[in-house]
Every structure is written in structure tokens, then in C-alpha cells.
Structure 1
Amino acid sequence: IDGVEGQPGRCFAVVTKFHHSFGDPSFFAPVWDALYAADLPPVEADPQPASRLSVTLRELLRLPLWPVMLVADAKSSARAQRHLGAALAESGHRPPPVERCSITAPMGLGVDADAAFFPLDRLRTAARAAGVSANDLILGAIGSAIAEHFDDVGPDVTAFIAVSTREVNPEPRNSVAGGMVRVADDTPWPDRVRRIHRDVRTERTLLSAPEATSSPPRAPGFAYAWFLQRNQRSRQAHGMVAAHTRISSPGRPDITDWRLCGAQPVSRFVVVAPGASCGLCHAVTALGDTVAISAFVDPAQVPDLGGYLDTLRRVIEELCTPHQEDRSFA
């Protein structure tokens, strides 16, 4: 790669792709460490792995038990969901479903991606002035940029926030729950970002409860595919969706000891697969002393990705400038 700012000569990039069905970003962190480590860790292999025949016979013997297990799991899951729904209703902060607009149609086959970069120290200074975290400030900035850039969205903007529950339930390879947070409304700044701060923490607490982290019913894959398609058709018929956008903060391992092709890497950039529920998704990643906010869009829904990122840069510049010397974002 030629022309990387601040780096002499040619640079290189290494792209690693994982399917989300295999695990969440936190699950893959030690896998990344092992892949890029100079010394490979020892591998403990089963000296007598099970043969395909033995696995097939075992599953055939278990086949009569599947209806019983499915009914038991479905009852347990329904009970847990009722408790979680009651807790969310009691909290009173979760926003209702939103009307469909120019960015809420399911993601198509084509995806455009770009990123904006911001100094972490400036974000932290502005966040401390408001009494929140830098992540809360970024959530509020994304909400403001969406409400300002898209004519049919706003002033209320609801985001799907990925919440890791791996510390509570480390057994599943995917330990991620979805929180719903209103990231833009008529509330003036900084009261709005303080409300976002409270809502995010409330969502994290509720989604880390035992009933929220319980395992789903053990059903065949086609059953889940049918359920998701049916749910999507129902939402399309009613013209309502859960959120305007998706925002993730993927976990990342330490790159201090990494050596790629004999060189110390400058940064590690996480890209997450966009969800299929909306046409505008974000990933927020720390790159040393820089924060990268990447956007993944359906070009049919967001044809002007560069213009949207320019709006986001200006919003964050306006939030940070009163708290530090003027310094534009490249």
C-alpha cells in the first residue's frame, strides 16, 4: 500500500476473515494472538478423535430425544424472555420501534465502507467535560450526524448497541446481546449524552442478567432461518423496525508484540460484518491514540457515504473544539 500518511515507503496490510457463526470478536481475540505470534503455542490434539461414523450413529440414537429437548428448551427460553421483557418494561428507558426510513431497509448484496479517524485525547477531554465516557460521546455524535444528514430521520435516532456478555456467560462462542438506546432526541447537549450514558449502562446491566444470557432452544438451523424470515416479513408488513442503525465496538488484542513480515504493525483495524436489519452500520475501534469510526452502508440506501462521514467529522469537531485547542480531523 503506497501513500500511507506518516509512514515512509510502502506499507502492507493483512486481512483476516472470520465467519460470525463461529464466534464473536471477543472469542476470536486469542485466535488472532496465536495467528500473529512469533512463537506458536502448543496445540493439544485429541489422540483419538471421533470418527464420522461414530458421531453419525450417536446423533441418530439421540434423534428420538430431540422433540423432548426442544420443548424443554422452548419453555425455558420463553420463561427467561418474559422475565427480561418485564425488567426492560420496568426500567422504562428502552425506546419503542421506529418507522421505516431511508436507512432502515435490510442490507443488500452491495456494501460500501469507509472510515473517519479522530484523536482519542480530544474525545476523552470533551467526554470528561460532560461527565461521560468517550464511547458515550461517540454514540451521541453518531446520532446527531444521522439526524442531521438524513432528511427523513430525526430528531429521534435509535441505535442497536452490541453488548458483550462473555464475562457473564463465557461458554457460548457468541456471547453478544443487543441493546436499544436512543442516541439522538430533542434534549440539549450535554444532558443528552448523560442520558445516553445512563441508558447504555442500564442496557448492559439488564442484558447481563441470567435470564438474558440463557441459551436459546436447541433447534435445527432451518427452524431459526424460518423464524427470522417470518419476523422480518412481519416487521415489513407493520412498517416498523427496531432501530435506525447498528453500532459495535469489537474487542481487540494487544498488538505490542506483533511482528508482521518482520515489521512492527502501526495499528490493528477491526471490521465487523454489517447486520442485515438496516442499511447503515458502524464499528468503533481504538487504534492506539486514534479512534476509527467505520461505516458500512448499502449504497442503494446511502449513496453519499463520504458526505455522511463529513457530517460526522463536523459534529465531533463542534463537540470537541470548546474543550481543547482547534485541531481539524484529517
Structure 2
Amino acid sequence: MSAEFRVGTEQLRPRDAVFVYDETDRHLSNIVAVYFADAPGHPPLTREQVLDWVRAGIGHAALFHRRLQRVPMDLDLPYWVPDPALSVREHVVLDRPGTWDDARARIAEITSTRMDLTRPPWEIHVLDRVEGVPAMGGETTIVVLKFHHSVGDGVATRALEHRLFGGAPAPAVRLDEPRTLPAAVRTAAALVTQPARFVAGLRRSRAAQEELRALVEAGTVHEPVALRPATRFNRDIHAELTFHLLPIPLPEVLAAKAAAPQRVTVNDLMLTTISGALAAYLAEHDEVPAGSLAAMVPMSMRGVAEWDSANQLTQMVVDLHTDIADPLDRLAAVEHSASRAKQRHADPVVLRGDRRVETAPALLLRAAGWARAQRRFDDSATVPLCNTTISNVPPVADSLAFCGRPIRRAVGSLPILDGDGLRHLITSQGDEIVIAVTTNAAMMPDPEHYGELLLRSFRELATALLAQDIPAEH
């Protein structure tokens, strides 16, 4: 018999609370994972079947049983508290959208809908009997798992999906009583201790900044370029989100990686691929930027720093070198920039400076989130740090299944936001890598063409790499 799983009250860490304070209707904090399962040979799913599957799995994680409770006037960080009123039916939807285009529209709608944090922050949408999914044979069952970013990051999603879809029995759940009195005492104490902790943290951060300045001057650490030229994708969002997939055969990616003259990662290849496609797309619209573009690339800090937050990602800024035409030269430059960005975020001095968020009072975090939400981009000639997001999560475990249907593909869908209207999420499973692209029709009316440019960019890079191993004819 499975052990009992207790769910109690827990205060959010500052890095997690930021996703609560930063969220607005134009800046969503949704994590959306999308799973594609083979449906041929299986009868249509019923709502009760789906509900039974969900009920059997929600003992795997506390997120399914807790809701957010904010402190009055945000005088302290919010809490996760057990929710005895959980109704699974309110969190689960079964649809039969019909075609892949219909399913894509539903996934886009799910991604761009704000979550209700007065109840446990998760949803499961099942889109059954979908026809025409690229590279999937016959009808497909699509499962969309959505939860709030304050619960965890993309790496945590991999662990959760392994438990949900891996077939392991979930333990029974016991909800503890919400601890309101200790929370109230802690809030009162925080009003006294937080200012001193914040001042001490600010002093440590300033000292680290002085050390960092010396490292930058010595060329040991390289700071990202502060401003990049704004593109059509760096405006305010004026249209609904769209969702698109581009599968690339994994054997081709691995062959290109093996042929590289220097050590490169699969992520380096994908960054270079996206760089080439982005540059080509803008050139076709006579919008070549005056300088190189850059990407925000999440980096897991697991094994690098000891953080006690559920989210353990930092945001690297990687120069995409879109101003370099030759794919091999661009790959070398991107690999160099990515390596420098990783080195920067692993540097002890940078890590000490980044710890200032750990002592920031809740009111300051909320004020910072409000200030970020006020920025408008429609008339900006530049954008801070980066032009697009390129996220790469670990490979998906094999042998996952949903209601007896084997899962063949897992991807993610990133919400777009003002100033960042073109986002990429890269996943791999089986014999393919998939780039999931989210944008909108105002910024990109022809996403299928962008997919063609992505594939062409990769093939040009792979061809150039493989050609190095072919002896020249005399």
C-alpha cells in the first residue's frame, strides 16, 4: 500500500512569489505542457474515464491540493494552503475539437488564459480524436497540463509528468489544517525583521556588484549588451496567441552535432537555427535590424547554486549573432556567447549579487512587478537585453501513457507578452526534436513560412557541418 502524502501550509519563496506579483492580463505566468498520445484502436474517451485518471494521479504532487493565500496588503509573501474544497471536475475539461487546426486554437486559448489563484492552480484539458496532427499517425489524443509558474519551472514539469504518465500509483493524500496563527505571527515578525534583512542583503549585493565590476574590467566575466534593436516581435501584444510546431528528425541533429569541429551542444545548434530563421524572416520583410539580436535562454541552476525555491532557473542572455550570414561562423559565435553566458551565471560573485531577491520584502517585489507592467513597447527603438525567448527543457522520459494510450510527443506552449511576442520552446522525445513557436498573427501572419525558414536554416547548418568531412575533389 502506498505511503500517505501529507499536504500542509507552506510560504512561497521570493523567487516563486515574483511570478505572482509580476502577473497581469498582459503578462501571464502559465506553464503549459502538451502531450500527444496515439488514439487509433482506442474508443473515444468519456469524461468519467478522464476524471478517474486524474483522481488516481493527483496524490503525486501538492500543487493539486493547495491554493494561494495572499497576506493582507501583501505585507509578507503569500502562502500555499490546503484546499479541502477541491473539486476535480472544475479543473478537468474533455473536448473533441476535430482537426489539428482546431486543437491548435484550443491550446493557444488555454495558454493565453489567466489562471484563477483562488483555487488550486492547475488544469488538465483533454482533446480527444484529433485528426491531422503532423507526424502522428491517425487520430491523436492531446493532453494539456497547465499550472501556475509559482509552483515550479519546466524542469520540475519533467519530474511531475513522469509520475503522472509513468503509471506509478499515487499515495493517499491527507490535508493538514491551515496554520493561520503561525502565518500571522510570521507576518508580524517580518514587518520588524525584513527591513534589516533587506538592508543587509543590499549591502552584500552592492559589494558583489563592486567585485563584478572588477571582473568585467578584467575580462573574466562578460556582461550582456543592455539594449538591442527592437523588431516587429518586440511590440505590445494586439492579437491573440497562435501556436505552431516544427518537428526536426533527431538523428539529423545528432549527426550535425557530431560533425562540428568544436564542442557544441544540441542547444547551440537550435539557437543557431533559430537565429538564421529569424534573420531571414526579418530580411524578407525589409526589416534587417541595425545590429545583432539576442535571446533570453532559461538556465537551470540545479547543481550550480543552492536555492530553496520551487523555480530554480535564471535568465541567460545569449547573443544570436543574426548579423553573421555564414552558418558555421554563426554557430561558432553563438556557442562562444552561450558559453560566456553560462560562465557568468555560474560565477560565485554573480550568484552573490543575484541573492538580493532572497531578502526583498513582499511590498518591494510587488512594486517591481507593477513597474514592469507599465512599460509600453510600440514606439520603442530598442528593447532591454533580448528580442525573443528560446527555452530548452530536458528530454521527455519514454514509456509514458495516458489512459492506455502511449505518448509519442511532448511539447510546451509559452505565453507571449508585451515586448516578447515570439517565443520558442524546444523539447525532444524519441526520434525527434520539436520547436514549439508561440506568436500572434499581427506580428507573424505566416507562421507556416517561419517554420519553413527554421527547417531551411537547420538544413543549411547541418549541410555545412557535414560537408567538412567530405574530402575536396582535385
**Same fold? TM cut 0.5:** yes
Check conservation: 2:197, 2:359, Cα contact below 8 A: yes
User: What are the within-5 Å matches in structure 2 for residues 1-330 of structure 1?
Assistant: 1-4=130-133, 9-42=138-171, 51-84=179-212, 86-87=214-215, 90=219, 91-92=221-222, 94-107=224-237, 110-131=240-261, 132-150=264-282, 151-154=286-289, 156-169=292-305, 170-183=307-320, 184-186=322-324, 188-213=326-351, 214-215=354-355, 216-230=357-371, 239-241=381-383, 242-256=385-399, 258-274=400-416, 276-321=418-463
Aligned residue type for 1:16: L
Structure 1 residues 180-201: Cα deviation after superposition (integer angstroms, max 9, x where no partner): 2221223633122112112212
**CA-atom RMSD in angstroms:** 3.0
Report the Cα distance in structure 2 between the residues aligned to 1:50 and 1:313, rounded to whole angstroms. Answer: 52
Q: CA deviation at 1:63?
A: 2.0
Report the Cα distance in structure 1 between the residues aligned to 2:443 and 2:136, rounded to whole angstroms. Answer: 35
Counterparts in 2 of 1:61 and 1:226: CA distance versus 1, 3 Å: closer
Report the Cα distance in structure 2 between the residues aligned to 1:228 and 1:86, rounded to whole angstroms. Answer: 30
Aligned residue type for 1:27: A
Question: What is the TM-score with the length of structure 2 in the denominator?
Answer: 0.61
Structure 1 residues 32-84: Cα deviation after superposition (integer angstroms, max 9, x where no partner): 222223223546868x6552133213322332112112222233334334544
Structure 2: 5+ residue stretches without partners: 1-129, 468-474
Report the Cα distance in structure 1 between the residues aligned to 2:174 and 2:348, rounded to whole angstroms. Answer: 33
Task: Give the stretch that moved more between structures: 280-289 or 99-108.
Answer: 99-108
Q: CA deviation at 1:319?
A: 2.6
Q: Which has the larger radius of gyration?
A: 2
Report the Cα distance in structure 2 between the residues aligned to 1:62 and 1:313, rounded to whole angstroms. Answer: 53
Counterparts in 2 of 1:318 and 1:192: CA distance versus 1, 3 Å: closer
DSSP-derived class of the 2:257 partner: helix
Which structure shows the higher strand fraction?
Answer: 2
Check conservation: 1:281, 1:295, Cα contact below 8 A: yes
Q: CA deviation at 1:286?
A: 0.8
DSSP-derived class of the 2:317 partner: strand
Counterparts in 2 of 1:265 and 1:310: CA distance versus 1, 3 Å: same
Aligned residue type for 1:60: A
Check conservation: 1:119, 1:289, Cα contact below 8 A: yes
Counterparts in 2 of 1:96 and 1:67: CA distance versus 1, 3 Å: closer
Q: CA deviation at 1:142?
A: 0.9
Q: CA deviation at 1:276?
A: 4.6
Structure 1 residues 89-146: Cα deviation after superposition (integer angstroms, max 9, x where no partner): 6245744521222111244572111111111111222233233333212211211111
Aligned residue type for 1:160: M
Check conservation: 1:130, 1:194, Cα contact below 8 A: no
DSSP-derived class of the 2:409 partner: coil
Question: What is the TM-score with the length of structure 1 in the denominator?
Answer: 0.84
Report the Cα distance in structure 1 between the residues aligned to 2:319 and 2:135, rounded to whole angstroms. Answer: 38
Counterparts in 2 of 1:204 and 1:194: CA distance versus 1, 3 Å: same
* Correspondence for 1:328: none
| Percent identity of paired positions between Structure 1 and Structure 2 | 23
Q: CA deviation at 1:260?
A: 1.1
Check conservation: 2:416, 2:438, Cα contact below 8 A: yes
Structure 1 residues 189-219: Cα deviation after superposition (integer angstroms, max 9, x where no partner): 3122112112212211211223434431433
DSSP-derived class of the 1:266 partner: strand
Structure 1: 5+ residue stretches without partners: 326-330
* Correspondence for 2:47: none
Counterparts in 2 of 1:286 and 1:253: CA distance versus 1, 3 Å: closer
Check conservation: 1:25, 1:252, Cα contact below 8 A: no
Check conservation: 1:124, 1:133, Cα contact below 8 A: no
Check conservation: 1:24, 1:174, Cα contact below 8 A: yes
Counterparts in 2 of 1:38 and 1:137: CA distance versus 1, 3 Å: closer
Check conservation: 1:103, 1:279, Cα contact below 8 A: yes
Structure 1 residues 148-202: Cα deviation after superposition (integer angstroms, max 9, x where no partner): 1113244622112211112223422212112222212236331221121122122
* Correspondence for 2:96: none
